Amino acid sequence: MSLIRPTASSSTFRALGLGLGGRGLHTSRALAIRASTPRRDATVAADETGGFKYIPGGPILKGTVNDATPQIEASRSHGSYHWAFERVLSAALVPVTVGAAVSTGSAYPILDGILAVSLIVHSHIGFDSCRVDYLHPRKFPVIGPIVSWVLKIATGLSVWGVYEFNTNDVGLTELVRRLWKA
């Protein structure tokens, strides 16, 4: 018995299930070429995939991974000013929240309205960033615009609801104060 060349025959390997892909081990070049050709029974039929055509590698998207990203037109309102606005709004929420908490909402309705609208705009920017990151138009051409419009409508309805709540009811700050004491 040799360590380099085992004495077990290819039929022994096949019987034990040790062959490559269920095929026997061959030493002859002609038998190895015949064994490596694809078998007809290994193809996937359309009815085996639930009626969908099998595409190796998944669905076909326009372009390839090696295509350059299209250049977006430069816009001052969307670049650094947009980033600066987000940071200023986030930093301004701290003193506005403290000011609204110290004063009563019914005595200072303007401050209460500024707090409510700032929170809504801050939330809108955050949800929009999530939408841009996770629902890219190339991958989700239908649901991406739908989610964008749902977010815009929800933000508009929230601003309208806060306006109604601050003008016709106790206001956001007074509501938080009452819930805190309850």
Q: Residues at the annotated binding site for heme b?
A: 122
Longest pairwise C-alpha distance within the chain: 98
d(Cα 155, Cα 42) in Å, to the nearest integer?
Answer: 54
Q: Nearest-CA neighbor of 25 among 10, 4, 8?
A: 10
Q: Is 116 helix (H, G, I), strand (E, B) or coil?
A: helix
Q: Which two tokens stand for residue 90?
A: 């986030």
Cβ atoms of residues 170 and 107 within 8 Å: no
Residues of 9-34 as b/e, b for ≥16 C-beta within 10 angstroms? eeeebeeeeebeeebbbeeeeeeeee
Contacts of 10 (CB under 8 A, 6+ apart): 19, 24, 25, 26
Q: List, in sequence order, every residue forming a beta bridge with 20; answer none if it has no partner.
A: 23
Binding residues: 122, 134
Binding residues for a ubiquinone: 134
Look up tokens 């016709």; give the residue.
Answer: 168
